[in-house]
Amino acid sequence: MSPLASYRRLFSLAGPRYVLVAFVGRLPLAMSQMGTLLLVAGTTGSYALGGGAAGALAVANAVGAPVAGSLADRIGQRPVVLVQSLAGGVALLALVALAVSGRSPAVVIAAAAVAGAAMPQIGPLARVRWRPLTRGQGAAQPRLMETAFSYEGAADEASFVLGPALIGVLVVLVSPALAVSVAAVLLLAFGTAFALHPTAALAHAHRSTAAATGRLLTAAFGVLLGAQLLIGVLFGSIQTGTTVLTTAAGQPGIAGLVHASLGVGSVLAGLAVAGLPARFGFPSRVLVAALGLALLTTPLLVTDSVPRLFAVVLVLGFVIAPYMISVFVLGERAVPASRVGTAMTLLAAVTGVGYALGSAVAGRLADVHGHPGAFAVTVAAGSLAALLALAAQPVLRRVPVTGRMSGDDVGAVEGAPA
C-alpha cells in the first residue's frame, strides 16, 4: 500500500470531522505557554514574571498529563478529557482576568499552574484511538498504524508551529489577553468535541477487552523516556540559543520564525515517514535519526548569523519527526494495551520536562558564553541521544512488532522472523 493510499484509507476510517477536531484541539496547549508569557509580561512589565508563569503552566501540565492519561486508561477518555477541557478553558479565562486586573504575581502564577494541570494532552491521547480504529483491516493494520503515528507526529509539529504563530498574530493585531482567550475558547469547543467524539468510546471498549498483564516501566520503555527527555532538552536549548543569537544580531523578532522553520522541516519529514519500507524497523529508525541529531546539531557551534541559523535549523528539523514518531510507535508497542494512554502522556510529559531543563541550562551558559554556550547544550543532547539509541538497540529490538507480548507470547519482534 502506497503512502498516499495509506493516508486516504486512514482518514476515511476516522472521518474528516475527527481529523479536524483532533488537530485543532491540540492547538490551545501549543498556544498557552507563549500566550501566558506575553500576557503576564505585558501586564506586569516583567519578563521574569512572564517566564515564571509560563514555566509554571508547562511544569504543571507535564506533572498532570500522566495522571490524566492513567485515569483515561481506567475509566475512558471521554469523562477525563471532557472535564479537563472545560476546567482548562475556564482556568485560562480566569488567568486572563487575574492578569488584566493586576492581581499579585503569586496569584497569577498559581492560576497559570492550575490551567496547565487541567489542560488535556490531546495529541498523545489521539494516538491511542488509532489501533481500535484500524481493527478489522487485516494485514493492512500494521502499515496503517505506522501511517497514523507518522501523521500524529507531523500534526504535533504543525500545532507547535501554528499555535505560537496564531498567538503572535493576535498579540500584534489586538492584545495578549485576547490571544489567550482565543486559546481558551478553542479548548472549550474542540477539546469538548474531542472528548465527545465516538472514537473515545471505541478506544475504551478496545482497552477493556485487551490483555492487561505486564509492567509499564520496562527497560525498553525506560529507554524511550530517556530518548524523549533528550529531545525536550534539544528543543529548549535550541530555542534559547536562537533567541540569544537573533537578539545579538538586532533581530529579536526573528527568533519565532527561526524556531518555526524547525517545525516546517519536521512536518514534511513526519508525513514522509509513512513511505519508509517495513523492513527498516523502528529500532533502526531511532538509531539513524539519533545519529542525524548528533551530526546536524554540530554546525550550531559555528553558526554566527541569522541566515546561516535558518539553514541549519531547517535541515535539523528533517530528523526530529522521524525520531519522535519512532519513539512513540515503540512506546505504544512496548506497554500493556490497557496502559497505552498512560504511556503516551508520559512520553509527552518527559519531553516538557526536558524542554524546561534544556532552557534553564542553556540560559545559564548563554549568560557567560553567548549563543555558543546555549547551542553546546543542543549538541550534547543530540550526541547523548545517539549514544542512547546505539546502546539500547538490543533492548529496543525486543519490542514486539504489533503490540506488547505477554509472558507466553512468541510473536514476531523487530529484526526477527515472524
**Calpha distance 26→122 (Å, rounded):** 5
Phi, psi angles (nearest 5°) of residue 152: -65, -40
List the one residue out of 226, 392, 357, 231 whose CA is nearest residue 297. 231
Residue 311: pLDDT band with limits 50, 70, 90:
very high
**How far apart are the C-alpha atoms of 405 and 392, rounded to whole Å?**
19
3-state class (DSSP) for residue 41: helix
> Considering Cα of 158, then 205, then 192, then 29, what sign does the dihedral take?
negative
Quick: pLDDT tens for 241-254.
Answer: 887 888 788 876 67
Question: Is the CB of residue 178 less than 8 Å from the CB of residue 152?
Answer: no
Residue with more model confidence, 255 or 299: 299
CB atoms under 10 Å from CB of 46, counted, come to 14
Alpha-helical segments (H) within 273-339:
282-297, 306-334
Q: Name the band, by pLDDT with cuts 50, 70 and 90, for residue 206.
A: low
In this predicted structure, the answer to whether residue 15 has a pLDDT above a threshold of 70 is yes
Question: For the whole model, what pTM was predicted?
Answer: 0.78
For range 214-225, the mean pLDDT: 86
Q: HSE-up of 194 (CA within 13 Å, CB side)?
A: 33
Cα diameter, the chain: 65
Cβ(183)–Cβ(92) under 8 Å? yes
Candidates 240, 191, 219; CA nearest to 374 is 240
**Over pLDDT 70: what percentage of the chain?**
92
| CA 50 vs CA 1, 322, 332, 351: distances in Å | 49, 33, 36, 21
Cα–Cα distance, 49 to 15 (Å, whole number): 43
At residue 393, φ and ψ (nearest 5 deg) are -55, -45
pLDDT of residue 382: 96
Residues with Cβ within 8 Å of 346's Cβ and at least 6 positions away in sequence, in order, are: 65, 66, 69, 225
Average pLDDT estimate for 137-146: 81
* Digit-coded pLDDT (tens) for 149-199: 888 888 888 887 788 778 878 887 888 899 999 999 999 999 999 999 998
CA distances from 192 to 184, 195, 276, 358 (A): 12, 5, 35, 33
